[in-house]
């Protein structure tokens, strides 16, 4: 009889927003999901509970990703959780989703501290997470980096943030060549404006924002976390096995021109 190994995933920043939707979507595909959070353990547990209520499997792991110690703590937590739940440490899918923005970060306003923080969380943490987890990532697995449409659309108040997302696209392309011999795919999914807590608050404060956003898109609704989770699930599934080193735009056609 054929043995079916339980497939596993780590989604960083899965306590809310896009990360939560990705965690739920992967769990719906039958993966055991490590739900990472930074500060909000209760929200991460809510993600786990939602997954469990839907018949899936998940566990929460907390770690601050602005420090290297935090990255190592996350690696330890994931290994321990996988071992407890599966009897092994094999990982199939790594989704680097956690990020901070530098909104209000015009060139002249940016501080060294803000700049270092946005690069530490958005670039250094995923880099070293991959370094640490590649040995336990199973052959045929996948890495999905969550990028942003800001790499092709100029947003002056998010300069440093946009630069981090550009770095992640470069990381994606180069890493795909490194990991490819093990049939591991590496891709970026790049959302446009997506209705997580930040955008929901902005829409409440500015009633015409929804109309403005839609006017800048090809598709006529405000992007939802679930809209972004679908291409991630595709890339993480066997159906995505021949797609690597690329950026998949998941922005509803934001600013196509």
207: left (phi over 0), alpha (psi -120 to 50) or beta: alpha
Stretch that binds ligand NDP, among 24-32, 33-41, 48-56, 207-215 (CB under 6 A): 33-41
Distance in angstroms (rounded) separating the CA atoms of residues 148 and 18: 12
105 in contact with ligand NDP (CB under 6 A): no
Helix (H) or strand (E) holding 131: helix 125-133
148 in contact with ligand NDP (CB under 6 A): yes
CB of 10 to ligand NDP, least distance (A): 12
182's tokens: 């093990």
Distance in angstroms (rounded) separating the CA atoms of residues 135 and 109: 41
**At 254, phi and psi to the nearest 5?**
-70, 130
Given 6, 28, 199, 202, the residue binding ligand NDP (CB under 6 A):
199
Distance in angstroms (rounded) separating the CA atoms of residues 12 and 133: 13
168 in contact with ligand NDP (CB under 6 A): no
172 in contact with ligand NDP (CB under 6 A): no
Distance in angstroms (rounded) separating the CA atoms of residues 192 and 210: 13
Q: Which of residues 15 and 217 has its CB atom nearest to ligand NDP in the complex? A: 15
Is 37 considered catalytic here? no
Q: Which residue is nearest to ligand NDP (CB)?
A: 17
CB of 5 to ligand NDP, least distance (A): 28
User: 């997302």: which residue's tokens?
Assistant: 165
Residues in contact with ligand NDP, counted by CB under 6 A, come to a total of 28
Catalytic residue among 37, 59, 161, 171: 161
Given 11, 71, 121, 136, the residue binding ligand NDP (CB under 6 A):
121
Nearest 5°: CA angle at 223, between 225 and 191? 75
Q: Which residues are catalytic?
A: 161
Residues that bind ligand NDP (CB under 6 A): 13, 15-19, 37-40, 43, 64-66, 97-100, 121, 146, 148, 191, 193-194, 196-199
């Amino acid at each position: 009889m054929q043995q079916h190994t339980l497939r596993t995933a780590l989604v960083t920043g899965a306590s809310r927003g896009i990360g939560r939707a990705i965690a739920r979507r992967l769990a719906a595909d039958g993966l055991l999901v490590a739900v990472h959070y930074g500060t909000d353990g209760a929200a991460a547990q809510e993600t786990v509970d939602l997954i469990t209520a839907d018949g899936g499997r998940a566990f929460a792991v907390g770690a601050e990703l602005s420090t290297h110690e935090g990255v190592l703590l996350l690696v330890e937590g994931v290994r321990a959780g996988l071992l407890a739940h599966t009897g092994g440490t094999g990982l199939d899918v790594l989704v680097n989703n956690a990020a901070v923005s530098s909104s209000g970060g015009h060139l002249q306003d940016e501080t060294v501290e803000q700049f270092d923080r946005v690069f530490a969380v958005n670039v250094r943490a995923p880099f070293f997470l991959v370094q640490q987890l590649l040995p336990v990532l199973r052959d045929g697995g996948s890495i999905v980096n969550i990028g942003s449409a800001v790499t092709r659309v100029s947003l002056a108040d998010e300069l440093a943030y946009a630069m981090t997302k550009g770095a992640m696209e470069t990381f994606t392309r180069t890493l795909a060549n490194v990991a490819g011999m093990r049939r591991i795919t590496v891709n970026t999914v790049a959302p446009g404006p997506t209705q997580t807590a930040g955008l929901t608050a902005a829409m409440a404060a500015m009633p015409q924002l929804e109309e403005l956003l839609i006017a800048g898109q090809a598709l006529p609704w405000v992007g939802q976390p679930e809209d972004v989770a679908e291409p991630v699930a595709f890339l993480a599934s066997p159906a995505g096995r021949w797609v690597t080193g690329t950026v998949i735009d998941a922005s509803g056609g934001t600013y196509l021109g």
